[in-house]
Structure 1
Amino acid sequence: MNYHSVVKLPLISTLLFSSYVEAKPPADFAPFTFSVSRVTIGNADVGNDGNELQRDQWLTNFKAKMPVSKKWILGLDLGYDQLDYDWKSPSGQETDYAWDDIHRFRAGVSVVYRPDEHWIFMLSPRLQYAYADTATASEAQSYGVVVSAIHRFSSGHLFGVGVAYLNDIDEVRTVPYLAFRWQINDAWYLSNPFSVGFSGPGGIELSYLATPDWEFGLGVSKRTSRFLIADNENTAEIDEWVSHLRASWKWTPKITISAFAGYFFSGELELNPEDTNETIENQGGAALEARFSF
């Protein structure tokens, strides 16, 4: 579920893992992926002053994975997200939050080294700009790097560890994480479905392959979204947990449609430099993603 700022699409695919660990990519390996998602999150009270927030998001992402030799793979990840924060007060007047439209540009490259059929080492520098219409884009830069080491067992299971160093807007974070895919049987597997980065670690999802064309998943993840709302390092950060149900339909060999139902809980809005913290009421959400491989 990619509610980016919240949950993150697209899913980590078996095909992508296979391209990392096999001697050569499978015959149906598609090096390019483009996805577009629409996310809607329900109304939620924020703080104790009667302010209410409703969120809508458009998320786009382009990825490229290109094997350059038997041991090396290069990757590219580009994305743009438009986040609409609709604020209301009980009286219908403007709230204390003057920001509503958020723009987020993302870019990253990855270098993958596969010395043998069992080990994968990855290094991925990241760059992001996340800012409201009330702020200047040039002051909203974040950068970081994600590194990981993954072991492929003879059974086909994958397990690894990694760490993300993220120099976000006016805050530095170090996020350790686990990278795994555990094939329970032919139909069930356990994995972390979201990319690691500024929005948080990968989470966990239990997936069920009902037919070659239909797959279902149940998961949970902690998501963080930080952006500039005014110049001079005035930031807003939303930190929350998200649980989700997923249904994915492989429409064609190259097109997958996924629908998500989510529940956002334990949310908090932090405003800096005021160091103000407001609780966000639990709320439901839904998302629809179309993913194209070519």
Structure 2
Amino acid sequence: MNKLLATSALALSTLVSSPAALAEQQAQSSYRPSPFSLSATRMTTGTADVGTNELQRDQWMFDFKASMPLGKKWFIGAGVGYDNLDYDWRSASLVGNTQTWDKIERYRASLSLSYRPNKNWMFMLAPKLQYAYADTASASNAESYGTVLSGMYRFDSGNVLGLGVAYLNDIDEVRTIPFIAVNWQITENLKLGNPFSAGFSGPAGLELSYQLDPNWQLGAGTSKRTNRFLIADDKETAEIDEWVSFIRLGWDISKAVSVNAYAGYFFNGELELNPQNSKQDIDNQGAAALDVTFKF
């Protein structure tokens, strides 16, 4: 979901603009985006079997973003976020004597610097910092950091296509994630774009959306999602890796307020515990989410 399900769970977040959408906006000299935005997202999943356990997940996500131009060619942005994940386990242990973790907190911060040398090209650098840890671990050992690099080309038609790579030094693991940045107006009402911002949760994904009228959109998309967090000190981690498909219904109430509702489906999920190197499949499950964004 352009904003759905953005963690071990939904990438639900209308919180972050994709690089391609940002390139299209910055290329329009008459475009004057709101400098600040505040988003709140609520997500819930069905119950899924994980080995001999059952798991049901709920999540709150909050994001605050700010952006501004630095002259005609440079743009700068910043964002902070807080996520609260509730993992409801129906068992006392996962592997051997490993105690389950129920509450997970995640704090996020990012900067972005983009450069437009001419009307067609845009390049962006976005360093990121994250702390993700369960109630059985301490925040001081849960640091992750990385950066996202992307280059995009805006055609004379206004369509945007580009490539990017995210280098992420996650908790006790280094990952490199390539992704495609796209904002392509196929017809007057049909558009292909990225529902997510590439980062610790995975690549940007793809969404096909249809503009029903000036205020309503209907979209469908998919992406791979990853959520890694500290569950005990000494770098004991849990990672949930899964695919998500979703349908989104968006409503632009006004220029300042938008609402997106999602129905999603997680599949091919896997839970990995380290350093035990223990892996367990996660059953497919349905999910739902609601995102509200204010721009001011």
Query: Scaled by the length of structure 2, what TM-score is found?
Result: 0.94
Aligned residue for 1:34? 38
**Distance in 1 (alpha carbons) for counterparts of 2:93 and 2:171:** 24
Residues 173-200 of structure 1 show CA distances to partners (whole Å, capped at 9, x for unaligned) of 0111110111001100001110000000
Give the Cα separation in 1 of the matches to 2:170 and 2:27.
32
Instruction: Name the structure 1 match of 2:256.
Output: 254
Question: What CA deviation, in whole Å up to 9, does each residue of 1:188-237 have, x standing for no partner?
Answer: 00011100000000010000001111001000000000000000000000
- Structure 1 distance, partners of 2:21, 2:237, is 38
Aligned to 1:20: 26
- 1:86-101 alignment runs, 5 A limit: 86-89=88-91, 94-96=92-94, 97-101=99-103
> Contact 1:18/1:25 (CA < 8 Å) preserved in 2?
no
SS at match of 2:6: coil
1:119-268 → structure 2 map (5 Å cutoff): 119-268=121-270
Contact persistence 2:191–2:210 (CA under 8 A)? yes
Amino acid corresponding to residue 100 of structure 1 in structure 2:
D
Distance 1:135 1:275, change over 3 A: same
Q: Cα distance, 1:15 vs. partner?
A: 6.9
Change (3 A) 1:15 1:223: closer
The CA RMSD over aligned residues, in Å, is 1.3
> Helix, strand or coil: the match of 2:47?
strand
Structure 1 pair 9–285 and aligned structure 2 pair: CA distance change class (3 A):
same
Q: Which runs of 5+ in 2 are unaligned?
A: none
Distance 1:75 1:25 in 2: 19
Q: How has the CA–CA distance of structure 1 residues 161 and 228 changed in structure 2, closer, same or farther, with 3 Å as cutoff?
A: same
Which residue is equivalent to 1:287?
289
Contact in 1 for aligned 2:12/2:41 (Cα 8 Å): no
8 Å CA contact 1:144, 1:165 repeated in 2? yes
| Alpha-carbon distance in structure 1 between the residues aligned to 2:70 and 2:159 | 25
Tell whether the 8 Å contact from 2:23 to 2:154 is kept in structure 1 after alignment. Answer: no
How many residues are treated as equivalent by the alignment? Answer: 286
Contact preservation (8 Å) 2:112, 2:124: yes
Q: What amino acid is the match of 2:17? A: I
1:25 CA drift (Å): 5.1
Query: Which SS does the other structure have where 1:117 is aligned?
Result: coil
SS where residue 19 of structure 1 aligns? Answer: helix
**Do 1:267 and 1:282's aligned partners in 2 also have CA atoms closer than 8 Å?**
yes
1:17 to partner: Cα distance:
3.7
Q: Answer whether contact 1:8 1:195 (CA < 8 A) is retained.
A: no
Tell me, in whole angstroms, the C-alpha distance in 2 between the residues paired with 1:160 and 1:3.
23
Residues 28-67 of structure 1: matches in 2 within 5 Å?
29-47=33-51, 49=52, 51-67=53-69
User: Is the Cα–Cα contact under 8 Å of residues 206 and 218 in structure 1 kept in the other structure?
Assistant: yes
